[in-house]
Amino acid sequence: MTGTTHADVLQQVAAAARGRFVIPADEVKQLQQAAGCSMDTLLLSILEEAAQEARPPISNYKVGAVGLGGSGAVYIGCNLEMPGNALSQSVHGEQFLMANLLLHQERSLHSLAISAAPCGHCRQFYSELACADRVRFVFGYRGHANPEVFSLAQLLPARFGPLDLLEDPSAPLLLEQQRHNLAWTSHAQATLQQRAGDQLLAQAAEAALQAAQSSYAPYTHCPSGIALVISSGQVAAGGYIESAAYNPGLPPFQAAVVAGIAAGCLPSYDQIREVVLVEVQSALVKHEGITKAVAASMSEGLPVTVLHVTRQ
């Protein structure tokens, strides 16, 4: 179009991503062709819109992350902070992006664009990826002509990773298919039977179970998942994501919050009406205590229903 500058076109790309957390591969191709730019530039052009989705009421520091999946789709992440809780309950923008990839069953990450270098926490977190050595980390600002590109080996040399801790070196890594065979305990079955007429609970229980079955817990073997029942009548679920370094992992509650935000059904935390946690009854690592504490900080009296499972 006459009079349209390259910057104008990139602004149009950014506008197309506004309020969205995934852009299908076909649309990504169309946007790139219309912009006439490299994929790195396209990803960087979306960063500001990604950051606008952040919820950092403590730091007021917004972080955006934009990733290109192996399927060609683009995924968006942002940072989340939870007032009234320890800072360890925060979700980094790069973690949000990873949970978003898992939600959409994306099996690899090609490139990750961020406005500043990732913290050490996230560098360690990304070491869990099966494709960790191939991911391109792209730094820069919207429309930057020469973005800098790094590998994880450059960002975190001599890193501690999955192969240092896994008993089975052939175990599937992050973004590879996980499958835990779990079944309800008799007590969980009784709880569900007592509320047999509650269709939202039944839906949330099934969603949390599915999230637990596909969660990433290769170190503790304590899979877990959480589903949120939201006031709109929708359910959002996410699974636990572990790290070889333990602390950089993502709890299932935060993964479920990511799912709700990415689906556009969780405008604020006070919209959560019930939390349904599924975890192994005899697990060495349990999320019941911290989940109840975080839930209570969001809404007094917010019910947390715990349903235990056993490994088959």
Q: Which residues are catalytic?
A: 94
Q: What secondary structure letter does DSSP report for 133?
A: G
* Rounded CA separation 165/26 (Å): 39
Closest CA to 180 of 216, 144, 138: 216
Instruction: List helix spans (H) across 113-251.
Output: 120-125, 152-155, 186-194, 199-213
Pairing of strands 182-184, 304-311: antiparallel
* Rounded CA separation 229/198 (Å): 12
Q: Which two tokens stand for residue 121?
A: 């926490």
Mention every residue, 6+ apart, whose C-beta is less than 8 A from residue 14: 45, 46, 48, 49, 142
Closest CA to 250 of 236, 258, 240, 237: 240
Asked whether the beta carbons of 223 and 240 are under 8 A apart, the reply is yes
With 0-12 CB in 10 A as exposed, 13-18 as middle and 19+ as buried, what is 4?
A: exposed
Asked whether the beta carbons of 55 and 43 are under 8 A apart, the reply is no
